[in-house]
Structure 1
Amino acid sequence: MSVFATDGKVEEKIDELPPSAKLVFKVLEYNRQMTQKEISEETRLSVRTVRYALNRLTEEGIVEQVPCLTDGRQTLYDLNDDLGDEQDAETDAETEIAD
């Protein structure tokens, strides 16, 4: 079961990504805000591979960078919360059309 609600469009984007990006997505889906190093340790992927995966996920709008409030030198990565909002808006629009 998915903790993060995704619509078909997002799932299509994820399906087209390399396995490393899919793994990073799943780790962020369950752990939420993490640094590159934390993701690397959790997935056992190299930092370079994690960086590539995060860049791909960011380009697709699936992941966003969040400033770390406790350490301004670090960047946290989190799933884009707007993805769930887009799904809700599309569902509402489809319901209105059906009525």
Structure 2
Amino acid sequence: MAESDGETIADLPPSAKLVYKVLEYNGPLTQKGIVEESMLSARTVRYALERLEEVGAVDEDVYFADARQNLYEIVDDAEEQPSESTESAVSD
């Protein structure tokens, strides 16, 4: 999982976890799309995206269909990866 200063996605508020799941299921979305899918307020979604960016779980990019908006997507290495200790325990 993505981590920053010891904080992981598991440590984030429920709204941030919901936004993460919405992006996980729907793929890259604009903030407006996340608001529609999650049924959270725009302010809550903004805060959740800030927190997700802080831990490195979400990446912000330009939305080429409308450059006034940003496109948010999950960073590939943010997904839970098996640790090396787990992998070595399985192979032993």
TM-score interval, normalised by the smaller of the two chains = 0.7 to 0.9
Report if the CA contact (8 A) 2:15-2:45 is conserved.
yes
1:73 shift after superposition: 1.2
1:37 shift after superposition: 1.0
| Structure 2 CA distance for aligned equivalents of residues 37 and 81 of structure 1 | 22
The number of equivalent residue pairs is: 86
In percent, how many aligned pairs have the same letter?
A: 55
Residues 8 and 42 of structure 1, relative CA distance in 2, 3 Å threshold: closer
- Does residue 14 in structure 1 map to residue 13 in structure 2? no
Q: Name stretches of at least 5 consecutive residues in structure 2 with no aligned partner.
A: none
With normalisation by structure 2, the TM-score equals 0.77
Match of 2:31 in 1: 36
Q: Name stretches of at least 5 consecutive residues in structure 1 with no aligned partner.
A: 1-6
Which of these residues, 59, 62, 73, is aligned with residue 57 of structure 2?
62
Which of these residues, 51, 73, 77, is aligned with residue 72 of structure 2?
77
- Does residue 26 in structure 1 map to residue 54 in structure 2? no
User: Looking at both structures, which has the greater relative contact order when contacts are Cα pairs under 8 Å and sequence separation is at least 6?
Assistant: 2
Residues 8 and 50 of structure 1, relative CA distance in 2, 3 Å threshold: closer
Residues 49 and 8 of structure 1, relative CA distance in 2, 3 Å threshold: closer
1:8 shift after superposition: 8.7
| Structure 1 CA distance for aligned equivalents of residues 47 and 12 of structure 2 | 11
The letter of the residue matching 2:52 is L
Which aligned pairs between 1:84-95 and structure 2 lie closer than 5 A?
87=81, 91=84
| Structure 1 CA distance for aligned equivalents of residues 78 and 39 of structure 2 | 27
